[in-house]
Amino acid sequence: MNIKGSIPALITPFKNGKIDFLSFSKIIEWSINEGSHGFVPCGTTGESPTLSHNEHKKVIEECIKVVDKRVPVIAGTGSNSTEEAIDFTLHAKDAGADAALVVTPYYNKPTQSGLFLHFSKIANSSNIPIIIYNIPGRSVVDMNIDTMKELSKIDNIVGVKDATNDLMRPLLSRQTFKKEFIYLSGEDGTSVAYLAQGGDGCISVTANIAPKICSQIQNYWKDGNIKLVQKLNNQLAELHYALFIESSPGPVKYAASLLNLCDEETRLPLSPIKESTKKIIKETMQKSGIIS
């Protein structure tokens, strides 16, 4: 399965409380032209918790339609309700998604056994390839390597988006799992280090506003041009940090507004970011060469 490289975790643009599908399509087209290797609609960065079920499905359908098979679409289909996650996953399969990104259940705090049963039931509901999204900072639970190893034995569980910032995980997992597995970083700031530990790419927040540089980093790594990888990684280092000064995707949406990609609007309970944060983001984008 050709899921690798720089994969933007797409923002969901809003205008006056409604999804701005015109801007959404514009962002996707621009990002493809800038070299992005795939997309994740309806992930954390896409504000999936505040999308209605109908909106969630429409965003995924629109992404698949606009992309038109040019790059893979990995639909965010996770939930803290197993049945709800199954519904989203079946929809993504029927809509034509290439894979589903399923987050570890938040709030419920399942055990490792509960995580295994949750993911195995979702996987057995459909033959769409599934990527586990392990993000303990948001979901509170952390899937350990042993649980992931057991899940990897299920044919259509094919990879992980690892947002633990634990750089031993891909190294240890590659030595433990008995099949090829896709290892995607979920942390922009350590994505190059993740590649060095055996990773295949990054599902990225920064790639929403710097898709060309993010894709070049992945391409140069593949080509073995480490000096250019380091140069570009240093160029984006402060930007990676600035985009998380406040809860994402508030900062990256403001950054996108500076590029005239969409409005900076988010949905409650996310609030508008502070003026001091805006100043830092703008200055960092200028320093990074994203805007003049």
Model pLDDT for residues 199-215, shown as the tens digit of each residue: 999 999 999 999 999 99
DSSP structure string for 11-79: ---EETTEE-HHHHHHHHHHHHHTT---BB-SSTTTTGGGS-HHHHHHHHHHHHHHHTTSS-BEEE---
Calculate mean pLDDT across residues 63-69. Answer: 98
Distance between first and last Cα of the chain: 38
Mean pLDDT of the chain: 97
290 falls within a domain: no
239 assigned to some structural domain: no
**Angle at the Cα of 1 from the Cα atoms of 73 and 134, rounded to 5 degrees:** 65
Under the banding of pLDDT at 50, 70 and 90, the label for residue 92 is: very high
CA dihedral 80, 84, 85, 88 (to 10 degrees): -140
pLDDT band at residue 166, thresholds of 50, 70 and 90? very high
3-state secondary structure of 94: helix
What pLDDT is attached to residue 42? Answer: 98
Supply the range of the domain harboring residue 98.
5-224
The residue to which tokens 């790419």 are assigned: 201
241 is catalytic: no
- pLDDT at position 179 is 85
Strand extents, DSSP E, the chain: 5-8, 14-15, 18-19, 74-76, 99-103, 130-134, 157-162, 182-185, 201-204
pLDDT(230) > 90:
yes
List CB contacts of 243: < 8 A, sequence separation 6 or more: 188, 205, 206, 251, 252, 255, 281
User: Which of 4, 93, 161, 278 is flagged as catalytic?
Assistant: 161
Q: Beta-carbon neighbour count of residue 36 at 10 Å?
A: 26
Q: What is the mean pLDDT of residues 195-199?
A: 96
Angle at 184 between CA 222 and CA 268, to 5 degrees: 130
Is there a domain that residue 95 lies in?
Answer: yes
Q: Is residue 279 part of a domain?
A: no
Above 90 in pLDDT, residue 71? yes
- Is residue 100 predicted with pLDDT exceeding 80? yes
Q: Which residues are bridge partners to 131 per DSSP?
A: 101, 159
Sorting pLDDT into bands at 50, 70 and 90, what band is 56? Answer: very high
For the cut 90, the answer to whether the pLDDT of residue 160 exceeds it is yes
Q: Is 183 among the catalytic positions? A: no
Considering 133, 183, 194, 220, which one is annotated as catalytic?
Answer: 133
Helix (H) or strand (E) holding 230: helix 226-242
Say if residue 225 is exposed, middle or buried (CB neighbours under 10 Å; 0-12, 13-18, 19+).
Answer: middle
Phi-psi group of 270: left, alpha or beta (phi > 0 → left; psi -120 to 50 → alpha; rest → beta): beta
pLDDT in tens, 20-55: 999 999 999 999 999 999 999 999 999 999 999 999
Give pLDDT, residue 196: 97
The sign of the CA dihedral 164, 86, 159, 215 is negative
| Number of structural domains the chain divides into | 1
Query: What mean pLDDT comes out for the span 224-248?
Result: 97
C-alpha to C-alpha distance for 114 and 108, rounded to whole angstroms: 10
pLDDT for 184 beyond 80: yes
Domain presence at residue 110: yes
In a domain, 249, yes or no: no
Q: What is the pLDDT of residue 93?
A: 98
pLDDT of residue 178: 81
pLDDT over 80 (residue 282): yes
Residue 247 pLDDT greater than 90, yes or no: yes
Q: In this structure, is residue 101 part of a structural domain?
A: yes
Residue 72, in any domain of the structure: yes
The Cα-based distances of 226 to 32, 120, 127, 221, 292 in angstroms read 24, 39, 38, 6, 27
CATH number at residue 109: 3.20.20.70
Question: What is the separation of C-alpha 153 from the centre of its chain, rounded to a whole number of angstroms?
Answer: 24
